Chains A and B, each alone.
Chain A
Amino acid sequence: MDPLFKAQAGELVVAMPERGIDPAWLGRPLAELGLEAGGRLSAVRVESPAAWRWKTADAAFFAKLLGELEATGQKIALRGLPPELEKLLALARGAPPAAAPGARPPGVRERVGLRALSQAEDARAFVALLGEVVLLLPRFVAARAKVRRAELIEVLAESSSRALPIVAVVNLLMGAILAFVGAVQLKTFGAGIYVANLVGIASVRELTPILTAIVLAGRTGASFAARIATMQGNEEVDALTALGVSPAEFLVLPRVVALSLLMPLLYIYGCGFALLGGMAVSMPVLDVSATAYVAQTQHAIAGAHFAIGALKAFVFGALVALVGCHHGLRAPRSAAGVGAATTSAVVNSIIGVIALDAVFAVCANALKV
Chain B
Amino acid sequence: MNVISIEDLTIGYGPHPVQSAISAQIGEGEIFAVVGDSGSGKSTLLRTMIGLLPPQSGRVVFQGASSFGVLFQNGALWTSMSVLENVMLPMDLQGELPRAARRALARFKLALVGLAGDEDRYPASLSGGMRKRAGLARALALDPGVLFLDEPSAGLDPLALRRLDELVLSLRDGLGITVVVVTHEIESLYRIADRMLFLDGETHRPVALGVPAELARSAESAKVREFLSRLMP
Contact = CB atoms under 8 A, between A and B. Distances in A.
A27 B103 contact: yes
Interface stretch (A6-14, A51-59, A214-222): A51-59
A334 interface: yes
A55 B105 contact: no
B111 A63 contact: yes
Interface in A320-369: 332, 334-337
Given A27-B99, A63-B111, A334-B79, A55 B170 contact: no
Contact of A91 (B79, B96, B118, B166): B166
Tell me if A's interface is mostly helix, strand, loop or mixed: helix
Nearest to B174: A84
Interface in A94-135: 95-99
Interface string A15-56: 000000001111110000000000000000000000000111
Contacts of B171: 88
Contacts of B123: 334
B220 to A, nearest CB: 36
Interface in A62-86: 63-64, 82, 84-85
Given A28-B101, A84-B173, A332-B124, 10 more contacts: A27-B98, A27-B99, A56-B175, A82-B174, A84-B174, A85-B174, A91-B166, A95-B111, A96-B117, A98-B118
A298 to B, nearest CB: 57
A337 B123 CA distance: 12
Q: Identify which of B97, B166, B170 gathers the most chain A CB atoms within 10 Å of its CB.
A: B170
A96 B80 CA distance: 26
14 contacts: A23-B96, A24-B97, A56-B175, A60-B107, A64-B104, A84-B175, A85-B174, A87-B174, A91-B167, A95-B111, A95-B112, A96-B117, A97-B117, A336-B79
Given A24-B101, A28-B100, A84 B170 contact: yes
A299 interface: no
B97 A88 contact: no
Interface string B104-137: 1101110111111110110110000000000000
A187 interface: no
A25 B97 CA distance: 9
Contacts of A336: 79-80, 124
Nearest to A332: B124
Contact of A59 (B100, B102, B108, B117): B108
Contacts of A93: 111
A240 interface: no
Given A27-B97, A27-B98, A60 B175 contact: no
B8 interface: no
Give the 4 A-B residue pairs with the shortest CB-CB distance, closest first. Answer: A27-B100, A84-B174, A97-B117, A60-B108
Given A27-B97, A55-B143, A56-B143, A91 B170 contact: yes
B191 interface: no
B143 A88 contact: no
A55 B124 CA distance: 31
